[in-house]
Amino acid sequence: MRDDPSVIALVHRVCGGDQGAWNELIERYAPLVWSICVRYQLERQDIDDVGQSVWLLLVENIADLREPAALPGWLATTTKHECLRVVRAARRHDRHGLPPEEQMPPDLSATVIEQEIIDAELNAALRAAFAELPASCHELLSLLIGDPAPGYAEISEKLGMPVGSIGPTRARCLDRLRRSPHLSAVLYNQPGSVKLKETRR
């Protein structure tokens, strides 16, 4: 089930006119809207156009969302529709003699959109959980996810932490991350979860 209590609380606060809650909602879901636009291969100007439409529609409709927890799905569907509108507007004015099938906007399958929603929710939960870790864990994990990830010797030097304690600290920090309430709400929505397939049809 998609019943992340923090999303429900955010939606209620947004409905009450809380700009801070709106900002949190945007931090959470702007990547979802962005990534769907990127999948439609839109140019930046068109992505801004889609974004503006989606957020305005959200402002207008958020109070009417029957289930606040359905917000990610609503956003994904709305973004998809807006992307198709932009693509069609561009094609309509393109009078090169393309065969009809190439004039059709590329559509994304329901599976692709569903995967984007699942990824976006997991990512948002991970970021929220990560943001709440103690500073020491935050620092260590930030280094470990670097590209390229530094070796333990370098980490030891940067953080002033004995090499021998990096491994155990890493395990402890990841465990804290894993046990975050943000994550427990979404972890069983991951691929392989039959329950999800049933509830999202």
Work out which of 26, 98, 153, 163 binds another protein, going by CB under 8 A. Answer: 26
Q: Which is nearer to another protein, 14 or 108 (CB)?
A: 14
Does position 95 interact with another protein (CB under 8 A)? The reply is: yes
C-alpha 41/C-alpha 64 separation (Å) is 31
Helix axes 152-159, 135-144, angle to 10 degrees: 150
135 in contact with another protein (CB under 8 A): no
**Tokens linked to 99:** 């065969």
Reference 121, options 17, 29, 27, 6; nearest CA is 29
Q: Does 109 bind another protein (CB under 8 A)?
A: no
Single residue of 3, 9, 41, 89 touching another protein by CB under 8 A: 89
Minimum distance, C-beta of residue 183 to another protein, in the bound complex (Å): 9
Stretch that binds another protein, among 52-60, 66-74, 107-115, 158-166 (CB under 8 A): 52-60
Smallest gap from Cβ 170 to another protein, in A, equals 7
> DSSP per residue over 116-169, as a string?
HHHHHHHHHHHHHHHHTS-HHHHHHHHHHTSSSPPPHHHHHHHHT--HHHHHHH
Token pair in block for residue 71: 């917000």
**Amino acid code (one letter) for 46:** D
Q: How far apart are CA 130 and CA 183, in angstroms?
A: 10
Please give the Cα distance from 23 to 172 (Å, whole number): 31
Q: Is 144 in the site for another protein (CB under 8 A)?
A: yes
Question: How far apart are the C-alpha atoms of 83 and 78, rounded to whole Å?
Answer: 9
Near another protein by CB under 8 A: residue from 6, 35, 77, 156? 35
Residues 63-82 within binding reach of another protein (CB under 8 A): none
Between 12 and 127, CB nearer to another protein: 127
Q: Residue 119, interface with another protein (CB under 8 A)?
A: yes
Chain positions contacting another protein, by CB under 8 A? 14, 17, 19, 22-23, 26-27, 30-31, 33-35, 45, 47-49, 51-53, 55-56, 58-60, 85, 89-90, 93-96, 119-120, 122-124, 126-127, 130, 141, 144-145, 147, 170-171, 174, 177-178, 187
